[in-house]
Every structure is written in structure tokens, then in C-alpha cells.
Amino acid sequence: MSTALRMTPWVALAVAVVLTITATAASLFWGSRTIEPSTVTSVLLRVPGILMGQDSGASAEMDTAVVLARIPRTLTAIVVGAALAVAGAGMQGISRNPLGDPGLLGLSAGAAAGVVLGLGWLGIHTSWQIAVAALAGSTLAALLVFGISQAGGGAPTPIGLTLSGAAVNAGFVAVTSAVVLTNQAVLERFRYWNVGSASRSETTDLLTTAPLIALGILLVLLGASGLNAMALGDELAHGLGVNLGLQRTAVFVGVVILAGAATAVAGPIAFVGLLIPHAIRRIVGGDYRWIITLSLLLGPSLLLIADTLGRVVAPPQEIYVGITTVVLGVPVLLVLLRRRKGMAL
């Protein structure tokens, strides 16, 4: 590993905390509409009074309304970024594939297909209904991926998971396309939701999905030590007394919940779950306790930075965060892969 990228875990944690705080402030202070920092600060200090109804006229002011609108999208970026990054770390751990990702392995496509089928066949419209449909789709996708990868017997291999994930992903994309192309009403709703964005969710959406995301993160965290053992191989992990079935199941369920809930809130957002854990592994090593902990901070940082840039590069128009994450992430991942290729083996 390149020493230029190496940090001790505690130094990396401090850097991640500073980066997250900075990205959060940037999301609140910057946007497609220019607002004086003193005005933003004043509005943020008045938020408790506004929420309690003691400052009811404040939201009628244009600048105040804009700042208040930035709060839920900032919270959405934090929650969804953490969910996607931790889901990616968990998926890379149980698949033993450093390039594993809920998107690449079909979970996000399954969640999207679940939402489309719910919109088209069940007439869902509330946030909790969309969350349930997304979770059902991501669960089915995960079961198919792991089922297909184990069809020949034995534990799933990284190559088997990747190939089955690609097949399942293609299948769900085809289902989604078939539904939206034959149902104009679903197409109108889905094309607005299909591009990942932190701006569409409301406080009620976050309140619906935040407990699910918290549960998913907890399950992946509980399985962190087991992921370290899995990286050594199943036989050695058994020899160390690790209950691989229980640990894999806990992380697997956590990843499914995180992928489904994050997709329900913000739509499909690629690359966060792939890039963040992979980059952290390059910086602090392969201890999943640190990979997951740092993912909780760096996932939100990436999504906050991407969302902020999407608002300021071409005002008054905005570029969806699902697009800017890829624009930001691809060069970084290519640099990481190039460094790895240049290492002496």
C-alpha cells in the first residue's frame, strides 16, 4: 500500500470528523441561491423557535425559506450517505470482494424494481409504502444473488457473487424498464424518482426511514469482527470460533435494509458504497471495525459535497446528486486502482 495514503485509524477519524463538519456547513451555507452567511446563521439559530411555532412568520421570508429547505436535504445526504457507505462496507466484507457494492450486486436495482412494481400494481404513494416496496425488492435481489452464487454448492465466492449480481442487476433493470415503458403514469412518477437526489425527501420521509437505517447500521457494526475473520477464510474463521452463519446473516440483513431504505429516500445513488469503503481500506488497512466506523462519516461527506457542488456549478439549475457522485467518484477510484496496480506484489 502506498505510504502516501496511509494514516493511523485515529488520525483518519479526526480528518473524517473535520471533513464531515465542513461538508455539512457547506451544504447549509451554499446553494443555487446566494445568501449572506450572517443570514444563514441567524435562520439556523431561529430553527427551534420556528419548529415550536414561536416564529411563524419567518418561513415566509424568501431567504429564510431557502435555508429551511436546505436543512432536510442536508440531513438526507447525511443519512443516505452513511447508509450507502456502510452497506458497501458490509457487502464487500461478506462477499470478500473489495469492489463489492449494493449497486453492482443488484440490491439497488431490486429496490428500484420494487418501487416501480408498487407504483404500477399496488398504487403506493406514501413514504412508508415506498420504503416497504424498496426493502422487499432489495431483499429479493439479495436472496437471488446469494442463491445463484451457491447453486453449485459451497459458500459463495467473490467471483460467483459478482457474476450473479451482474445477472440479477440486469434482470431487475429489465423488469423496471418493461413496467415504465408500458405504463405512462408510472413513467411520469418514476423518472422523477429514478435519478438520485437529496432534495425530494421531506422530514416525514426521514422519520420513516431513519429507524430502519439505524437498525441496518447496527447490524453491520455488530458483524464487523466477524467480517475480519471472514477475510481470513471460512476454515480459519471456524477455527477461531466465529459463528459464520450468524455473522453473515446479521450483516446480510443489515446491508439489505440499508440499500432498500436509502433507495426509498433518495432514489438510486451509485458509487458511494463502492468508493468509500475501498478508499478507507487503502488508507487505514483492512480492519472492518475501522472501515465501517469511517464509512459512517465519509459516506455523508461525499454525498454532502456532491450535492453542494450540484447546486452551485450551474445556478439556478441543479445537477442531481446521483450524477455528481459518479463525476466525483470515478476519477478517485481510478487513481486508487492505478496506485494499487503500480504496487510491487
Per-residue b or e along 277-315, where b marks 16 or more CB atoms closer than 10 Å to that residue's CB: bbbbbbbbeebbebbbbbbbbbbbbbbbbbbbbbbeeee
With b for 16 or more beta-carbon neighbours within 10 A and e for fewer, the 107-126 pattern comes to bbbbbbbbbbbbbbeeebee
Residues 93, 96, 97: CA angle, nearest 5 degrees = 105
Cβ partners under 8 Å of residue 33, min gap 6: 63, 66, 315, 316
Which sequence spans correspond to the domains of the chain?
Answer: 9-341
Q: Which stretches of the chain drop beneath a pLDDT of 50?
A: 1-2, 59, 342-345
pLDDT score of 74: 93
Q: Give the chain's radius of gyration (CA, Å).
A: 20
Specify the CATH number for 9-341; select among 3.30.360.10, 3.30.2320.50, 1.10.3720.10, 1.10.3470.10.
Answer: 1.10.3470.10
Q: Is the peptide bond before 316 cis (omega within 30 degrees of 0)?
A: yes
- Is residue 111 within 8 Å of residue 135, measured between CB atoms? yes
- The pTM score is 0.86
pLDDT in tens, 75-95: 999 999 999 999 999 988 887
